Structure 1
Amino acid sequence: MSRTPRPSVRRQDASGLMRTSSPVLVGRGDQLGALLAAVPRQPAVIMIEGEAGVGKSRLVRELLDSELGPMAVLMGYCQPVGEPFPYGAVLEALRDASDRLARNHPRLSPVAGVIGPLLPELAEYLPEAPASTGDPRTERHRLFRAMRELLSVLGPVLLVVEDLHWADDGSRQLLRFLMGDPPANLSIVVTYRREDVPGGVPLGSAYRPPSGITSVLLELGPLDVDEVRALTSAILDEEAVSAEFATKLHERTAGIPFVVEETLRALRNPAGAVHADGATARRLLDNVDVPVLLRDAMAERLAALPTTATRLAQAAAVLGVPAPAELLGEVAAIGESRVRAALTHALTGHVLHEVDSGRYGFRHALAQQAVYDTLSGPDRQQLHNRAIEALDQVEPRPLVQLAEHSERAGRTAAWLHYGEAAADRAAEIGDAGTATALLQRLLVEPTVPAADVDRLAIKLGQVAHLGLDQHDPTEALERLLSDRRLSTPARGEVRLYRGLLLVRQAGGVEEARSEIEMAIADLTERPDLAAKGAAVLGQPFMGMTPLREFEPWLARTDRYREATDDNELRISLMANEMGSKLHTGDPSVLANLDRLPDTVSTPGEQRQLARAHCNLADACTSTGHFRLANDLLRSGLRYAAECGAPFVVSTARATKARLDWLTGDWDGLAERAGRLLDEYRDLFPVASELCLVLGSLAMARGEWAEATSYLTETGAFVPEESIAPVAIAGCAALATTMLSQDEVTRACVDVDRGVSILRTKGVWAWATELGPVAVATFLAAGREMDAENLIEDVAAGIEGRDAPMSVAALAQCRGRLAEARGQLDVAVSHYREAVDRYERLPAPYFAALVAEREAICLLPSDNDKATEILSTLIDTFDSLGATRDAARCRHLLRGMGGGKPSRRGRRGYGNELSPREQEVARLLAAGHTNREIADVLFLSPRTVEQHAARVLRKLGVSSRAELQAEDLS
């Protein structure tokens, strides 16, 4: 949760320095709310507890920046000084009380005079100091009473004491006295780190707040991943911080805000790094130097430890992962009898922490790195060798750790042995990211023999093709193609896998086709691999290559499939071939679904079966077999999860999001698609389809800017590098947003681009969403002949094809043309056919849009029927979440002289938001102006202004800016 009390500022100032702290408070909204509620309810005692860097001072600063009314703020800071300064923190705070004393001229009892010698700044406002009693206890009690009395005459006061863990005993006792019986006008806020408090008791003795005062204990913990992401975004003024970067940053910093800020400061290019994928983010963050403040703090802590505890900490730094005490002692070469004492010192010195039961490590990766950096080269090498010896006895052997230690110890042969074994194990359990990272590191090593390079390079291509990490493996394979150690037979296979990875990347389609064609030429002795390449080149949805150029590759794939005895390869080729043919509306595919096996015997075969089901589901979604698509997705996802096929899962989840959009299952869809986009942003085929879904949803809500922002990422503007059916649908949605705003000329631009893609590709089954909006746009622009020609082309293109969504769209197009020509009876007939076909799919949103046109055509001849249809459509659009469409139907009803009849009479909403007010609130929170909201909801700006005023009043906010800071989801 975050709060935005001040306007945001740019990431860099005039000097070019990066902002080093967040302009907004992140992850502490509840705690700040508790503070703001408690402080005015005097007397009040608030204790804020949390580890170093967790944000205690920032929370206090936010409190002090808020509106505190007439309350005076007195600030005191405890310092880690060598010599104690008795009562130092409170005395420092009271120095700021002189103005209040000067204004109030309070009458103080003689006991208050004891403060004068301690605070000469206030002496002129205090009585003369009474004679000393000579009894230290009495003198201390006098002072405490005097302090309390002085605070009681200052009016409303907020006393803040920071870093209580460093306080002298006198300050602790004084605060304990004040907090035990605070004057009625006083609120006290103290902050401390419990781990650094002597004896763990902040006030020196147990404290229980007395009855009758407001008492709050706030325990601040680290931020979670989402909060780290929000903090990063705020600091760098970058909205699109990748989920992968935030996850890796959270791992490295343990979510401690100060450590996050220092790490971002240390990044050389933070603005670019935050968009990185998982592998890149890890590499960038692992290479960040330990910030100076953190390094110095850790050096100070190490210096305070006995030698054995320091050695234990250094062993933990070399191991790099939490470890049991016995393993730490073995690596540190400390005898068993001394390990416990050394570990105790390291724990109490806050160098090591108990990560979980019986395992010890560092609070975060930067602390571990700071200790590791204190070791000399020979010492590091010695400890890594000891780690290898110790870990080699563990069962099962931690192969990744053994590989890491072997590399750092300079033992190349052992590193190759353990690294490849670790990669094999990771691949077996479906952890492709770990496997590819290990293989890439091995292949960079120039001393790896040529024979090993062939094997490792092929493994890298195979594993990367199954996983989600794309950019780094693709670049690694490109480097290998120019590596002299790579043999000619292996080169073709490496080139093939590079091409397969390029297909998944933005801007990689054309290069991918070229690379795969060259690979096939090199794979004459590997017909199985050549077949895989041909199957990819036969997929018609890649770029702007016409269907006629895909067909020879499809035929070649068919011949490979018939000739092979390899069941896994056969299923793999069928997955591509059947999916590709169904995309074009080939009616033979669904008739021959039984060619796919029901059961398989190996994980590889299951992976290909999962791919076959998910590819067919994608084609079914594109052509309109929605129920079958849902069944195939369910089985495909189950197979993929069982055998470990994360890329197949990613494509299936994107297909499911698109299917949900088409079938009207919109509840929570925007949130689900948004999370998936965060997860798969670097996989272009997946990300572009998710952007299409998110853009289409925003379009239906009438949020044009958001819709356009997403739809530009569908490939609509770069069709040669796109997934063609997604790009065509993206053009359709862009045109719809323009047409809805009466921007006919701009809608024509989008429609012409989409029709050009469609004509070039020659796959008319993909006209499902473009056809109707293209015809509507052409007619609005006076281009009736273009509309007629397009209808004829679509009709000819889907003749004899199995494409039920396109058939429904064609009926809608014909209705539009008839309506434009004034043939309303003919139009109604076509619209009724389209509605029936859409409903059978089912595609309720598309059916409702056509039913609206039907109602408009019925207006002159059957007003009652038209009214009935529009009234029903309002409920349909509202239930879907199509705000703009529901509002348009209401507007039509109002124009007919009526409104939607209520089944139960008009209800009052009191202090709750009405449905219309909820729509206004959502649009206000998104930053829309009254005029923009009026356009979306078909209301007058004056009506929107009245709704907006009621929204602000009912939600208890004073401005639109405050509303935009609220979470209305």
Structure 2
Amino acid sequence: MDTSSDEAADRWLQRALSAPPARRSGPGGPALLLVEGAAGTGKTRLASRLVATAVNQSVHSVTVSFSSYGVTVCRPQAAAAPPATGGARARRAAAPASSAATDPRAAQADDPRASDPHAADERALDERATDERPAGPQPAGPQPAHPRTTAPPATDARAAGLSAALAPLLERGERGERFLLVAEDAHRADGAALDLLRRLVDRPPDGLTAVVTYRPEELPEPGLALGRGAHFPACLTVLRLRLAPLDAGQVRALVADGLGESRCPSDLITRIVERSGGVPQVVADVVGLLSESGDGRERFSVRDLDAAGVPPRLAELALGRTAALRERIRPVAWAAAVLDEPVESEELSAVAGLTVEEGRDALVDALRAGVLREDGEGRYGFFVPMAAAAVYGQVPGPVRREMHRRAAAALGRRHPVPWVPLARHRRHGGQVKAWLRAVEHAALQCAAEGDHQAAIDLLERTLSRPTVPLAARARLAPLLAHSAVLGLRSDQTVTVLRQILDEQSLPAAVRGQIRLDLGLLLCNQAVAGMQGWLELQQAVEELQERPLMAARAMAALAMPLLSTVPLERNMYWLERAEKAGADSGNEEAATAVAANRAGTLMYIGDPGAWQVLEQLPRETEDPACRQHVARGLCNAADGALWLGQLGPARELLAEGVELATRSGASYVEQGARGTLLLLDWAEGNWSELPARARAFVAEADTMPGQGVDGRTVLGLMALSRGEWQQATAWLAGEGTRETNGSAVPHVATASGALIRMALVRDDVESAVAEASMAWDRIRDKGVWVWAAELAPWAVDATLRAGRRDTAHGMVLEYEVGLEGRQAPASSAALNWCRALLAEADGDQREAAELYRRAAIRYAGLPRPYATVLATEGAARCRLAAGTDTAAAVAELSSCVEQLTELGAVWDAARIRAELRSHQPSEEQRPRGRPSYGDQLSPREQEVADLAATGLTNREIAATLHLSPRTVEQHVSRARRKLESQSRQSLARTRSPRPE
């Protein structure tokens, strides 16, 4: 809602009611507020708010609705009226029933609460909280509890009824008592009623405070709320308040409140703002339509909005206003519906088939009827943009077709030509060849402007039609494939491209061009690395006549992240790509190869990556080259992240995103967001990370490869909090545990976390099986720097299984694989692995020293969570060695504090359990057990925290070094003290933690 309008109206009413009535202007004198707002902008809601304020101040009020000629009189009672300072909730509860209570149809026209399921309850509260009297003369005997509404058929009778209803309050006003008159929907008042209002404001009683609401577009006399002849004397304070549409932020808040923040991407909000015009009621109705059609849907899209159609309330209003136009005027409204965008008056007349003079006269009538409106640039369109679709459906078919042809002719004369809408008009006008030419121009225009998603949507719709000729498909399909790689993939894209590739009649070079982009799409966005790899290999063969594109395909085959093939195969293709790029003499080909070389070397920890990065042509003016540089920088940032070079990764990421934004590479920007999530996880920036990661995953619902970063972060955070069911779902679910090589570092990281959970459950067999598969995967690929998040847990599981020699061989293999690589995270992990070997051999002092070295390396990255876990290992070994016990206990206490601050409640509970084993002995403790009464003991609170995350009693017992029976007793006592019906509801007792 528009809070600024609410505040302005509240200030006006407070000033009007703040001083005793006096026959003078200014505070205390009679006052009039004219509330102007289009249909659905919240006039009824604002009027009800003002009545509630008056009731709280013990001011009598009368509300007149000219939609139904219903009258509601409210006399506040001392017992029913809460203090004026009672806040918004108290004022709402004390508000009297307005015309909305007597005529629901009137409320729906302007009150956004009409679509709110709680609104009826609020209005019921309103009626119970006030003492109301019916309008007109009061019969003898008991009075009804609710207001009585009369609607005499004759105008004079209506005016007489209003006069009778106002008479008692006018007498109070003449006696110097303040009262409030609310006249709603003045645009629907008849002549006699308007005359009554004019006489009232011409000679206002001293105590009059009046509010008049109206739709300016439906006034019989434009601009005159009370009609002709209204006179505002000097003693009357007059204020006009215009209710403005909601801005983008207010629309976002309203939509998020109705659908959920995570279900509303930015492009959907932008589209709702555009189509609703910011009208509150329309936004509320759109939210209702989406909510009804999207049960169980994780995220809504612009396509969902388009499929939902026009809200019935808006459709009825638009069709009613259009039907009321004279027949010769109606083509102007139809033309506006066909165009579906604000246009100049000359274009509107041309599409309507009218002369300039005829079009001008028709436009004036359509504006006065509220069908069309003028924007700030002198263009004309529907009063709410979305309303055009409702009217469009009622335009006769032959008329609609002819209007589309005239619209195409009009748009073709613009400079520059708006190809996207022109293509739409040519298609609906039946101009097939011209339509396909316009589609091609439109796709090129969108791609040049960096709006690849718009190009994808247009081309998909076009190519999905089987009637499109083969020659046109050969021209359009490569455009779709290219935009799909740079934009955000749609579900249909892969299917459409595969169908086109199946058409063997296409030239080999065309198929190769399409296959190149399809392969990149499968590798990057679809988590189908090996499928993409095979497509790229075939593309190289088909692109022999196009060496520049062949070089791009070879460069893609060189990227180690995209497949599970051994690193040697990637390096083979890198050499071929470099030779092809050098031989071509083409700047774009050379830049593409250089960008892939930089990413490849960074991913494998080759020190030469930094020199290649320095040589990338960052200052190039060529848009295509700029996109390749942006991709190379962001890939290098992602590679640096996995190496543990977090500071340089942030710098590269910022530079790459800036270039990607300038060049319109949406996919590169989206991928950078995922890398940033992992960076924040590694650096301990967890406060808002889960919400960001969930939103990221939801946005990538059609691109599993994009969402893998978010799923990995969510899984790791769930593990640290003891939410193991969620952790398993995120880490072992679709898109994260793919074995086709599309995200080898992610798979290794997920395996490390799954091994850790299995070890805590004492499921050593599952832990070893997972460790063996994960280790083989890394060995087959040959990129050992990607094992930093896997190696310590895989070695630990192997040792727990009693396979000391195997574990020693794993550590040696890891060490050899890291030779010559710059990978500080792996260096820290290698020290951790060596510490595990020493600890298993019983050399606790050596193990403690190796853990300490690992912690120091992690702290320098910085990796606070990993630092704490390594520090915990060092302290544990020092305690086992019996050396410097006090310092080790202090270190563990510090670890608990740091983990609690991060929000890693499960890890904090583990270490607290370790600390308890080093508490003073029973002889040193005070005698007796402390009594906690109805409060949870520290141990019960600890168990409740872990139970609320979903851990079983056995898992909690393993974490806290207790027996399952003891855990069961603690859970039972905690539920009894908290009167809890389930383990999950114990979460309400947990201390706040970062979300």
State the distance in 1 between where 2:382 and 2:675 align: 42
Conserved? CA contact 1:855–1:869, under 8 Å:
yes
State the distance in 2 between where 1:843 and 1:113 align: 77
Per the alignment, do residues 485 and 44 of structure 1 end up closer, same or farther by CA in structure 2, a change over 3 Å counting?
A: farther
State the distance in 2 between where 1:376 and 1:202 align: 37
Conserved? CA contact 1:194–1:202, under 8 Å:
yes
2:372 is aligned, of 341, 352, 357, to 352
Deviations 1:163-215 (CA, angstroms, capped at 9, x unpaired): 897678879989x99xx99x9xxxx999986766777899999999x9xxxxx
Conserved? CA contact 2:49–2:92, under 8 Å:
no
Asked if 1:873 corresponds to 2:898, the answer is: no
* Residue in 2 that maps onto 1:508: 528
* Residue in 1 that maps onto 2:137: 114
* Residue in 2 that maps onto 1:459: 479
User: What is the 5 A alignment of 1:946-961?
Assistant: none
Per the alignment, do residues 479 and 892 of structure 1 end up closer, same or farther by CA in structure 2, a change over 3 Å counting?
A: same
* Residue in 2 that maps onto 1:685: 705
State the shift of 1:330 in Å.
Answer: 3.5
Asked if 1:861 corresponds to 2:849, the answer is: no
Per the alignment, do residues 48 and 514 of structure 1 end up closer, same or farther by CA in structure 2, a change over 3 Å counting?
A: farther
* Residue in 1 that maps onto 2:332: 312
State the shift of 1:603 in Å.
Answer: 2.2
Per the alignment, do residues 545 and 165 of structure 1 end up closer, same or farther by CA in structure 2, a change over 3 Å counting?
A: farther
1:650 is aligned, of 647, 657, 670, to 670
SS of the residue 2:416 aligns to = coil
Deviates more, 1:305-314 or 1:668-677: 668-677
State the distance in 2 between where 1:473 and 1:341 align: 48
Asked if 1:556 corresponds to 2:576, the answer is: yes
State the distance in 1 between where 2:64 and 2:491 align: 43
Conserved? CA contact 2:643–2:824, under 8 Å:
yes
Per the alignment, do residues 580 and 329 of structure 1 end up closer, same or farther by CA in structure 2, a change over 3 Å counting?
A: same
SS of the residue 1:76 aligns to = helix
Asked if 1:77 corresponds to 2:81, the answer is: no
User: What is the 5 A alignment of 1:556-955?
Assistant: 556-590=576-610, 593-597=613-617, 599-713=619-733, 715-720=735-740, 722-737=742-757, 739=759, 750-780=770-800, 784=804, 787-859=807-879, 860-874=882-896, 876-878=898-900, 880-886=902-908, 888-889=910-911, 892-893=914-915, 896-897=918-919
Conserved? CA contact 2:294–2:300, under 8 Å:
no
* Residue in 1 that maps onto 2:83: none
State the shift of 1:767 in Å.
Answer: 1.0
* Residue in 1 that maps onto 2:428: 408
2:548 is aligned, of 501, 525, 528, to 528
State the distance in 1 between where 2:211 and 2:753 align: 55
Conserved? CA contact 1:692–1:714, under 8 Å:
no
The residue identity in structure 1 corresponding to 2:397 is: G
Deviates more, 1:483-492 or 1:216-225: 216-225
State the distance in 2 between where 1:841 and 1:607 align: 30
State the distance in 2 between where 1:941 and 1:100 align: 45
State the shift of 1:348 in Å.
Answer: 4.0
The residue identity in structure 1 corresponding to 2:720 is: A
* Residue in 2 that maps onto 1:540: 560
State the distance in 2 between where 1:48 and 1:144 align: 10
* Residue in 2 that maps onto 1:131: none
State the shift of 1:631 in Å.
Answer: 2.5
Deviates more, 1:310-319 or 1:336-345: 336-345
State the distance in 2 between where 1:439 and 1:769 align: 42
Task: Identify unmatched segments of 5+ residues in structure 2.
Answer: 2-41, 68-86, 107-123, 149-155, 172-180, 236-240, 921-937, 961-966, 980-984
Deviations 1:627-665 (CA, angstroms, capped at 9, x unpaired): 322232232222222333222222222222222322334
Deviations 1:517-566 (CA, angstroms, capped at 9, x unpaired): 22222222223222222222232223544435444433433443443322
State the distance in 1 between where 2:195 and 2:956 align: 61
State the shift of 1:400 in Å.
Answer: 2.1
Asked if 1:427 corresponds to 2:447, the answer is: yes
State the shift of 1:877 in Å.
Answer: 3.6
Deviates more, 1:419-428 or 1:697-706: 697-706
State the shift of 1:832 in Å.
Answer: 1.8
Deviations 1:712-731 (CA, angstroms, capped at 9, x unpaired): 45744332264111121122
Deviations 1:276-327 (CA, angstroms, capped at 9, x unpaired): 786xx43x55455556665444322112123454222212111111123343
State the distance in 2 between where 1:219 and 1:267 align: 24
State the distance in 2 between where 1:445 and 1:566 align: 36
State the distance in 2 between where 1:563 and 1:649 align: 31
Per the alignment, do residues 173 and 41 of structure 1 end up closer, same or farther by CA in structure 2, a change over 3 Å counting?
A: farther
The residue identity in structure 1 corresponding to 2:886 is: D
The residue identity in structure 2 corresponding to 1:115 is: Q
The residue identity in structure 2 corresponding to 1:711 is: L
State the distance in 2 between where 1:812 and 1:271 align: 49
Conserved? CA contact 2:452–2:664, under 8 Å:
no
The residue identity in structure 2 corresponding to 1:78 is: D
Per the alignment, do residues 947 and 894 of structure 1 end up closer, same or farther by CA in structure 2, a change over 3 Å counting?
A: farther
RMSD: 5.8
Deviates more, 1:299-308 or 1:450-459: 450-459
Asked if 1:497 corresponds to 2:517, the answer is: yes
* Residue in 2 that maps onto 1:907: none
Per the alignment, do residues 383 and 141 of structure 1 end up closer, same or farther by CA in structure 2, a change over 3 Å counting?
A: closer
Per the alignment, do residues 484 and 560 of structure 1 end up closer, same or farther by CA in structure 2, a change over 3 Å counting?
A: closer
Conserved? CA contact 2:947–2:971, under 8 Å:
no
State the shift of 1:796 in Å.
Answer: 3.1
The residue identity in structure 1 corresponding to 2:668 is: V
State the distance in 1 between where 2:601 and 2:170 align: 86
Instruction: Give TM-score scaled by structure 1 length.
Output: 0.72
Aligned-pair identity in percent equals: 33
SS of the residue 2:737 aligns to = coil
Per the alignment, do residues 36 and 549 of structure 1 end up closer, same or farther by CA in structure 2, a change over 3 Å counting?
A: farther
Per the alignment, do residues 588 and 193 of structure 1 end up closer, same or farther by CA in structure 2, a change over 3 Å counting?
A: same
Conserved? CA contact 2:677–2:710, under 8 Å:
yes
State the distance in 2 between where 1:651 and 1:121 align: 70
The residue identity in structure 2 corresponding to 1:869 is: E
State the shift of 1:809 in Å.
Answer: 0.3
Per the alignment, do residues 218 and 327 of structure 1 end up closer, same or farther by CA in structure 2, a change over 3 Å counting?
A: closer
Deviations 1:805-860 (CA, angstroms, capped at 9, x unpaired): 11210111221232244321011111122122222333232122211211222232
1:479 is aligned, of 499, 504, 527, to 499
Per the alignment, do residues 460 and 857 of structure 1 end up closer, same or farther by CA in structure 2, a change over 3 Å counting?
A: same
State the distance in 2 between where 1:493 and 1:749 align: 43
State the distance in 2 between where 1:723 and 1:667 align: 26
Per the alignment, do residues 933 and 261 of structure 1 end up closer, same or farther by CA in structure 2, a change over 3 Å counting?
A: farther
Instruction: Give TM-score scaled by structure 2 length.
Output: 0.71
Deviates more, 1:376-385 or 1:290-299: 290-299
The residue identity in structure 1 corresponding to 2:510 is: A
Deviates more, 1:379-388 or 1:579-588: 579-588
SS of the residue 1:841 aligns to = coil
Conserved? CA contact 1:855–1:866, under 8 Å:
yes
